[in-house]
Amino acid sequence: MTVKDEFEFISKIKPKEIFQDNLLVGIGDDAAIYRPAERMEQVACLDTMVEGIHFLKGLSSPYEIGYKALAINISDIAAMGGIPKYYLISIAIPNSWSEADLYGIYDGLNDIAAHFRIDLIGGDTVGTEDKLVISVTVLGEVEQSKLNLRSNAEPGDVVFTTGFLGDSAAGLSILLNENDKGNTEDETYLINRHKLPSPQVMTGRLITKLDRASLNDISDGLASELYEIAEASNVSIKIDESRIPISSALLNFKESPYEYALYGGEDFELVGTTSRDSWNILKRECEKCSIQITQIGEVVSGEAKVLLTRENETVLLEKSGYNHFKK
């Protein structure tokens, strides 16, 4: 696919509103210019989605693909406690995708960007012979000395997670394996959780107010994210399976929903640790904002590993999750 008129295309995708006062030069020049805020650190992340690996054209609309491409990057900023500010988008699109498809992708990008007040400041669109590839970079800011790093966990900390876990993996399973897709309210809910994730920016901002916290977004499954924290902080983490928050839709869908929660991935909720005093503060603040947050375990001294308590038995949790290079 080729864009018929590059300047007309840029004009059509150019946002009608500028959200950030510090954006000095946006789309239209060779590069964007913005002024960083004082006493703030800059946060940057990039994710790439490849057709056939991260999405299938027959199962997701162009709008949903664009929406999710930006959402997963916003979730990375949320995991740092940051404020997403700007994004850049690069798309390599084959002839099997139409110009209307391309505009649909940008519609999805624009809608979630408007929700979080993020400005599009540049990008690139090229043709390719095979699969569509979409890369998004998000730039954000976080207060100095308020970094929610994976290495911040300490023995005695509470382990917590936001939202429900396992829904996205169940939604993908329905899309790939079920004959009837989205025919029930539960199926529709699970599919939407996979296609249209909700980055937890507000929760990340609340966590940034604490004295200390470690934080990860759940992109590759709860087990994988917990191991990243344990290894970065050189601690052991113990969680109780019965405390893992599971939605009623997932409970109705599968007999073993905890496997989806532990190893499914792409929930884009947050998992982290903080001191017990800070946990009490965080829980109260989340309740005020109607944010679901759940204590699922604790951090203890010991080698970097994750233990799971299930029916009065404690086992070593398998270090597993979604891996792009695993066959």
Q: Assess contact for 130 and 247: CB atoms under 8 A.
A: no
Nearest to 142 by CA among 85, 191, 193, 196: 85
The Cα–Cα gap between 1 and 267 comes to: 32
267 has binding-site annotation: no
Q: Assess contact for 197 and 68: CB atoms under 8 A.
A: yes
Q: Assess contact for 162 and 292: CB atoms under 8 A.
A: yes
189 has binding-site annotation: no
30 has binding-site annotation: yes
124 has binding-site annotation: yes
- 177: tokens are 């394996």
- 26: tokens are 């946006």
- 208: tokens are 């940034």
194 has binding-site annotation: no
The Cα–Cα gap between 282 and 55 comes to: 35
322 has binding-site annotation: yes
167 has binding-site annotation: no
76 has binding-site annotation: yes
Per the document, the length of the chain is 327
The Cα–Cα gap between 250 and 254 comes to: 6
Residue 316: other Cβ atoms inside 10 A: 9
- 16: tokens are 């009608």
Q: Are strands 236-240 and 305-310 parallel, antiparallel or unpaired?
A: parallel
Nearest to 215 by CA among 148, 153, 292: 148
Residue 309: other Cβ atoms inside 10 A: 15
217 has binding-site annotation: yes
173 has binding-site annotation: no
- 201: tokens are 């920016």
* Partners of 93 in the β-ladder: 127
260 has binding-site annotation: no
324 has binding-site annotation: no
106 has binding-site annotation: yes
Q: State the residue for tokens 């590993």.
A: 305
Annotated binding site for ATP: 106, 123-124, 150, 219
Annotated binding site for substrate: 54, 266, 322
Annotated binding site: 30, 47, 54, 76, 106, 123-124, 150, 217, 219-220, 266, 322
Annotated binding site for Mg(2+): 30, 47, 76, 124, 217, 220
